[in-house]
Amino acid sequence: MVVAGQSISSAMGLSMANMIDPNLGNVPVVSQFLLLLASLVFVGFGGHAVLLGLVSESFYTLPMGTSVLNQAVFGRIVQWSAMMFLGALLMALPVMVFLLFINVGLGIVTRAAPSLNIFAVGFPAMILAGFLILILSMDVIGGRIDWLWTQGFGVLRDLTGVGHV
């Protein structure tokens, strides 16, 4: 969520608008919003109950003293980290592509009318268009967050050997 929010913030021109989060450090405002949205999606689809079910079932499949850390587990974690970055890219992609087209349009306008101040017109247009496309793409972003949570629980099931909850 943080990587997607940072990508969206930097494309919008909000990379300097950071909040201090004790857990994550300097986090852009859009990242904070996406983290809050991810928490709401987690609670909304019952992720807390699924997580507690996974923890309780893991006591049967992984008795105390059993080692689960081997090369296959580390390989699966590396695969999941690639999936997290893919999810962040897919969440940020609609906003970033739309803002790229706006940047190209602003470049053409600036080239055609050099007296037009790009700072007075470009930055507010980018921020306004960025928030507009962020609002319009909330359905896609929410679905992607749900997909990431589902994939994460699938990875946890595979690593602990717990059956489907």
Answer whether residue 145 is part of any domain.
yes
Predicted local distance difference test score (pLDDT) of residue 110: 82
Number of compact structural domains in the chain: 1
Answer whether residue 46 is part of any domain.
yes
Answer whether residue 56 is part of any domain.
yes
* 79-102: pLDDT as tens digits: 888 888 888 898 999 899 999 999
* 14-65: pLDDT as tens digits: 776 666 666 666 778 888 889 899 999 999 988 889 888 888 887 887 777 7
Under DSSP, the state recorded for 102 is H
Predicted local distance difference test score (pLDDT) of residue 121: 78
Chain-wide mean pLDDT for the chain? Answer: 84
Answer whether residue 51 is part of any domain.
yes
* pLDDT for residue 165 is more than 50: no
Burial class (CB in 10 A: 0-12, 13-18, 19+), 33: middle
Predicted local distance difference test score (pLDDT) of residue 19: 66
Using pLDDT thresholds of 50, 70 and 90, give the confidence band for residue 136.
very high
Residue 147 C-beta-side C-alpha neighbours within 13 Å: 13
Q: Is the pTM of this model over 0.85?
A: no
Instruction: Give the structural domain span for 151.
Output: 2-160
